[in-house]
Structure formats: structure tokens, C-alpha cells
Amino acid sequence: MGQRPAIAWMTGLSGAGKSTIADAVDRALTEAGRSTMVLDGDNLRQGLNRDLGFTAADRIENIRRAAEAARLMAEAGLVVIVSLISPFRAERADARAIVGDIPFLEVFIDTPLSVCEARDPKGLYDQARAGKIPNFTGISAPYEAPTEPDLALQTRDQAVADSAQPLIAALFRLSAHAPGRPA
């Protein structure tokens, strides 16, 4: 395949910019000849994880399944970009453990709650504040921000391309060939 596998695990609140950055990173890597796959939380919940709700137990299982899928894809040689709220530190650590020796970057999309609420095109935060959506991360359910992420990306005052650039660079480094190995 001409590359090393790697996993970038993006975490952050709803509306932080995870999916937008994942798409930009995917596009940049693909244009440069890398083989990639994006695992987006919304897409996973429409398919593989459609049987899960938003209880703490279901969120934990959602993260476990995403990590297992990311591991399988990386074992096939892909650079995997996971875009998932993944609100709990312990489960993000479990995801890192599940992937084993595959290079893994925990990427915090560090966007203030107020900015996420202002960006909310579906009105989910308003619905959550009105009590219409139970267990909504950041409102009625906790979000545990990473204490030591491998990367922290700011989306508040930056264009998507600028926010994505450090992750693009990191994934290029991680997925490059080892010295002496054929491309």
C-alpha cells in the first residue's frame, strides 16, 4: 500500500468541528496518495452502532466498537481518522489500548461550548437545554476533555484548513515508510 497505518482519534463536543476537520484531513491525505478511511460518529450510529442509545453504557460500547473497527482498518494498512465525541477519558484510553502497537493520536478539537452552540445548525443544544434530548454531552451529560492529548486543535478563530494542518502533518509523518523499506 506504500504507507504505514495510523489512527487519529478526534474528540470534542458536538459542533466542535471534528467532522469538518476529518473531511479536510482525509482529502489532503488522499490527494497525496495515502489510503484513508474516516469513521464518523454520525455515520457509525446510522449503521454499525444503530442499536445503541446515549446512556453511559451505550456511549462506552460505541467507543469500543469504533476502536475495534479502526484497528481492523489500520491492520489492513489504512490511515484511519476517527471523528467521535467520545466523552470519557477512560474509554479513549481503552481505544488506544485496543489498537495496540498501531500509531494512535488522540486529537482534542478544543472548541468552547458557546462556540459549539452558536454553530449548531440542527438546534440540538437548544433542544438539550429545553430537556428534549436527554444525556446530551456538554449539557446534561459530561464531557471529559483530554488532559494530555497528542494534538489540540483550535477551531474558534481559524479556518478549517489552518485547524487541520497540524493533524495532516502528523499523519504524513506517522504514515511515511520506514527507512530502507520500498514504497
Catalytic residues: 86
Determine the 3-state secondary structure of 39 from DSSP: strand
Which distant-in-sequence residues (6+ apart) come within 8 Å of 8 by Cβ? 25, 79, 80, 81, 82, 105, 107, 167, 170, 171
Q: Are 18 and 91 in contact (CB under 8 A)?
A: no
Measured CA to CA, the distance from residue 138 to residue 12 in angstroms comes to 10
All three cell numbers of 30: 488522499
Q: Which residue has the cell 482529502?
A: 27
Q: Which residues are annotated as a binding site for ATP?
A: 12-19
Which distant-in-sequence residues (6+ apart) come within 8 Å of 80 by Cβ? 5, 6, 7, 8, 36, 37, 38, 39, 70, 73, 74
Measured CA to CA, the distance from residue 34 to residue 4 in angstroms comes to 9
How far does CA 84 lie from the centroid of its chain? 4
All three cell numbers of 145: 476533555
